[in-house]
Structure 1
Amino acid sequence: MYDIIIIGAGVIGSLIARELSKYNIKIALLEKNDDVSCGASKANSGIIHGGYDAKHGTLKSKLSYKGNQMYDKLNSELNFGFERIGSLVVGYNEEDLKSLKKLIENGVKNGVKNLKLLTKEKIKEIEPNINDNVQYAVYCSDVGIVSPYEVTIAAAENAIKNGVKLFLNSEVISIKKDEFFIVETQKKIFKTRYIINCAGLYSDKIANMVGIDDFYIIPRKGEYMLFEKYYGDIVNHVIFQVPTVHGKGVLVTKTYHNNLMIGPNAQEINTKDDKSTSLENLKSIYIKSKNSIPNIDYKKIIRSFAGIRATSNKHDFIIEESKIKNFINVAGIESPGLTSAPAIAQMVENILLNKESFKKNKKYNPYRKFIVKKKTKDELLSNTELKPLLDNETYICRCEQVSKEIILDALSRGIEVKSVDGIKRRTRAGMGICQGNFCSSRVKKIISKYYNIPIETVKDREEASGIINERVNRIEILKNFK
């Protein structure tokens, strides 16, 4: 018998689990996949937004800036890696200037403090590679960058350390309500007093199981292109174009680990499993990105990928106790969901505390040690220094220079990781230009030995069968982009 079951171990579910682990209650975190952070939390822009663009008066507007301001403390405790690099929303003409001024007005209403309207001379000074046609920009110093899956993993690890039980491969099949909720999964039946529905794209399906049908999820796909490490130095800030009704448009940014990334587009799709990318869409993204930074070199591309956002028909976050007592929906969490995540966790905590009192967990520890630190170019070993260490397997990944010790550390943190992709997200082994061609077999060998399982059972990635995952690779892009 559990006090609370959280369905979905993305960034929202994992941070809620961590927040509630402050109390002396029994919590289960259920995830249908083989690992945490396998949905939208794995494939998004990794931007901690400034809070100025969410329409004033919406739940997004109330939680976005609040969440942004919580990230410094959150990172100091969980060590996932966070950097405030600021953003520019760029405009090219007088019509864009009107939109930018409205953006500032909206941001001020939302409580955002660090907003400035810049003109061309100042823009070129702080962002030398910006398009010469740019005339105006809204600058926000609060905007930051993270690896979204590292935030999720860190939160889940800390929640587990504080007593939360994580159940992977545990897709919810049915929920029945009597005195308590009876939650049936593929592996086990659970009983609980409360359910918190954080199932992302499938939150409507979970809600339907208890008779809630007042919202539905519209899957919206966004495709991205990722470039070589340190090519992120081509920009100093997150570069947005003037937003439209379809979203914030194509952005250009460095990632936390200093790759360059461009995207996404926005496509409403018919299936929640289509994570494919297309050459036509990637070309369009590339062309649009050059409106911001004209000299992006497509030859630096490493890979393409896609993520699916859980847009609700209400076009705002849904965070509330439903008409079914003790069933809390946390649904429709699209952008700026990652930004708002810590504030969402607190909001859910308050919903529960308004219903009853929980005793504090006296053993609660908010701290979690990092797995990998961001490396500068100067911190990398030379090829001459690295070669003998690869031969004796001290270093497993050549591109990212990841040691065996780091991989073993990642395996020892309370979450079972039996895929190369799971290790990749935790340690960056396989994120270099060779995309795991050198290290994948080595990583499989370590996983096999650690869990004492046959090496052929170690998967490349943890995605469930049925997912459409056809991605345009680097070779196709190099052949077709001119």
Structure 2
Amino acid sequence: MYDVVIIGAGISGCAAARELSRFDLKICVVEKAEDVCCGTSKANSAIVHAGFDAKPGTLKAKLNVEGSKMMKWLSQELDFSYINNGALVVCPEGGDRQGLEDLLERGKANGVEELRIIERDELRQMEPNIADGAEAALYAPTSGIVCPFGMTIGFAENAAMNGAEFRMNTKVENIRRTENGYLVETSRGDLETRAVVNAAGVYADAIHNMISDKPLHITARKGEYYLLDKSAGKHVEHTVFALPTAMGKGVLVTPTVHGNLLVGPNAEDIQDKEGVNTTRAGLNEIAERSADTVKNVPLREVITSFAGLRAHADEDDFIIRELEKAPGFIDVAGIESPGLSAGPAIGCMVAELVCEILKPEEKYDFNPERIGILNPEEMTEEERNGLIRIDPAYGNIICRCESISEGEILDAIHRPLGARSLDAVKRRTRAGMGRCQAGFCSPKVMEILARELSDMSMYDVTKAGGESRLIVGDNKGDFKAGLQGGI
């Protein structure tokens, strides 16, 4: 019997697990994918929004501003990458200047600090590559950028360190009411629990509808992106937005915390909740619309493109509440943008709701700190040499594009909730995220995974869990012989 079963290991589920792990509760997080951060939390703009866009009085507005204010100290406490680079919302010459003024007033109503409108000359001083037709911009100094993988994994690892259990590759198939709470039927057995937190992203409606007679509907809203090489990373210093529309904040151009340049997304409502394919039409749209705010975006430096899905609820707001006729069942649904920014505050709100129901005692030994993977590139030469003397694996470079060592990959595999696939290693270390997109380092990473994990051979290593094996065929013996022979 668990006290809480959390469905979904994205930013909302992991933040809730971390906040709940402060209390004397038996917590289980179930995730249908092979790792945390495999859905919406994996593929997004990685922006910490200041909070000027959401309608005043909504949960989006409230939790965005609260989460944004928490981000700096949380990044230090949980050791993930965050940069307070500020944002600009650009109004073109002859554009909707009133819309810019409305955003300013909305931001003030939401409690966003330091907002102001800047004019053409100051805008060009701040961003030399701003589009020639830009007339003014709303400047939001409190906006930032973050590593969404590092942030989600940081919450998850800290929750695990404090006693939360995680079950990956575990799909929820049905939920039934019981005398003491709920029976969660999964692909890997049944779980009894006193409370359920539904943080299932684009599938939150399916989970909700298992238990409620009031149907919930979530639309998968696809957004496509270009990721550019680090050689383009300084094209802009701030996150540059166009004026938002009913479909979202539009195509943005932003640096990333790792020094790349990100361009996107568009917005398209789709039926397929696994539809993360990119399209030529979508990418062309991004290229064309990015020029409205930033000139000469060096799209020849693109190293990859990708798409993510936002969970849009018909209510057009976050849904975080206990169901009326299902005590102990809490929806955390419709968590689209600014869900990443609001993530820390969402976790706190969910924990408050659960604690009101279960009334647990606080732990005396909760540890709020988590130390991330060492990065020798961030050390001085003397510190790096000292580390390599202690552990030579940190001197063996596996990913040349990102200068990722064997020591970092070993850490990623053996830490709490350790990596078990190429993508899981990539999310934790960036091995495979560089210019060659894992073209050279994949075989080496596969060898390390197979060597370090007793239940895995090279034949079993996957790109992203499931059936995504990289080596196919029936004759494992011939393959192993080939490896030994140097083939």
With normalisation by structure 2, the TM-score equals 0.91
Per the alignment, residue 18 of structure 1 pairs with 18
Which residue identity lines up with residue 458 of structure 1 in the other structure? V
Which residue identity lines up with residue 368 of structure 2 in the other structure? P
Q: Percent identity?
A: 43
Unaligned 5+ residue runs, structure 2? 382-391, 469-487
Measured after TM superposition, the shift of residue 62 of structure 1 is 1.2
Which residue identity lines up with residue 360 of structure 2 in the other structure? F
Task: Provide the rounded CA distance (Å) in 2 between the counterparts of 1:61 and 1:145.
Answer: 18
Task: Provide the rounded CA distance (Å) in 1 between the counterparts of 2:300 and 2:323.
Answer: 50
Task: Provide the rounded CA distance (Å) in 2 between the counterparts of 1:417 and 1:146.
Answer: 21
- Does the aligned pair in 2 maintain the 1:257–1:374 contact within 8 Å? no
Task: Provide the rounded CA distance (Å) in 1 between the counterparts of 2:380 and 2:96.
Answer: 41
Which residues of 2 match residues 291-330 of structure 1 at below 5 A?
Answer: 291-323=292-324, 324-330=326-332
Task: Provide the rounded CA distance (Å) in 2 between the counterparts of 1:392 and 1:141.
Answer: 37
Aligned match of 1:395 in 370, 393, 397? Answer: 397
Per the alignment, residue 170 of structure 2 pairs with 170
Measured after TM superposition, the shift of residue 391 of structure 1 is 12
Per the alignment, residue 382 of structure 1 pairs with none
Measured after TM superposition, the shift of residue 349 of structure 1 is 1.5
Aligned match of 2:464 in 458, 461, 465? Answer: 461
Which residues of 2 match residues 65-464 of structure 1 at below 5 A?
Answer: 65-179=65-179, 180-323=181-324, 324-373=326-375, 394-452=396-454, 453-462=456-465
Task: Provide the rounded CA distance (Å) in 2 between the counterparts of 1:369 and 1:416.
Answer: 14
Unaligned 5+ residue runs, structure 1? 380-389, 466-482
Which residue identity lines up with residue 232 of structure 1 in the other structure? G
- Does the aligned pair in 1 maintain the 2:14–2:155 contact within 8 Å? yes
Map Cα deviations across residues 307-354 of structure 1 (whole Å, 9 max, x no partner). 000001111000000121100000000000001111111111221233
Per the alignment, residue 49 of structure 1 pairs with 49
Tell me the secondary structure at the aligned position of residue 29 of structure 1: strand
Measured after TM superposition, the shift of residue 361 of structure 1 is 1.4
Per the alignment, residue 384 of structure 2 pairs with none
Task: Provide the rounded CA distance (Å) in 1 between the counterparts of 2:394 and 2:197.
Answer: 48
Tell me the secondary structure at the aligned position of residue 320 of structure 1: strand
Which residue identity lines up with residue 62 of structure 2 in the other structure? K
- Does the aligned pair in 2 maintain the 1:32–1:170 contact within 8 Å? yes
Residues 464 and 122 of structure 1: is their aligned pair in 2 closer, same or farther, counting only changes over 3 Å?
A: farther
- Equivalenced residue count is 456
Per the alignment, residue 475 of structure 2 pairs with none
Map Cα deviations across residues 102-121 of structure 1 (whole Å, 9 max, x no partner). 00010111011110100000
Task: Provide the rounded CA distance (Å) in 2 between the counterparts of 1:44 and 1:430.
Answer: 18
- Does the aligned pair in 2 maintain the 1:218–1:311 contact within 8 Å? yes
- Does the aligned pair in 1 maintain the 2:394–2:408 contact within 8 Å? no
Measured after TM superposition, the shift of residue 373 of structure 1 is 4.6
Measured after TM superposition, the shift of residue 209 of structure 1 is 1.1
- Does the aligned pair in 1 maintain the 2:377–2:403 contact within 8 Å? no
Task: Provide the rounded CA distance (Å) in 2 between the counterparts of 1:235 and 1:292.
Answer: 11
Measured after TM superposition, the shift of residue 95 of structure 1 is 3.9
- Does the aligned pair in 2 maintain the 1:11–1:149 contact within 8 Å? no
Task: Provide the rounded CA distance (Å) in 1 between the counterparts of 2:448 and 2:467.
Answer: 23
- Does the aligned pair in 2 maintain the 1:127–1:236 contact within 8 Å? yes
- Does the aligned pair in 2 maintain the 1:204–1:213 contact within 8 Å? no
- Does the aligned pair in 1 maintain the 2:114–2:141 contact within 8 Å? yes
- Does the aligned pair in 1 maintain the 2:412–2:418 contact within 8 Å? no
Residues 374 and 57 of structure 1: is their aligned pair in 2 closer, same or farther, counting only changes over 3 Å?
A: farther
- Does the aligned pair in 1 maintain the 2:376–2:394 contact within 8 Å? no
Which residue identity lines up with residue 461 of structure 2 in the other structure? V
Which residue identity lines up with residue 339 of structure 2 in the other structure? G
Measured after TM superposition, the shift of residue 96 of structure 1 is 2.0
Tell me the secondary structure at the aligned position of residue 41 of structure 1: coil
Which residue identity lines up with residue 462 of structure 2 in the other structure? K
Tell me the secondary structure at the aligned position of residue 340 of structure 2: helix
With normalisation by structure 1, the TM-score equals 0.91
Which residue identity lines up with residue 286 of structure 1 in the other structure? A
Residues 163 and 212 of structure 1: is their aligned pair in 2 closer, same or farther, counting only changes over 3 Å?
A: farther
Residues 371 and 392 of structure 1: is their aligned pair in 2 closer, same or farther, counting only changes over 3 Å?
A: closer
Which residue identity lines up with residue 362 of structure 1 in the other structure? Y
Task: Provide the rounded CA distance (Å) in 2 between the counterparts of 1:290 and 1:95.
Answer: 15
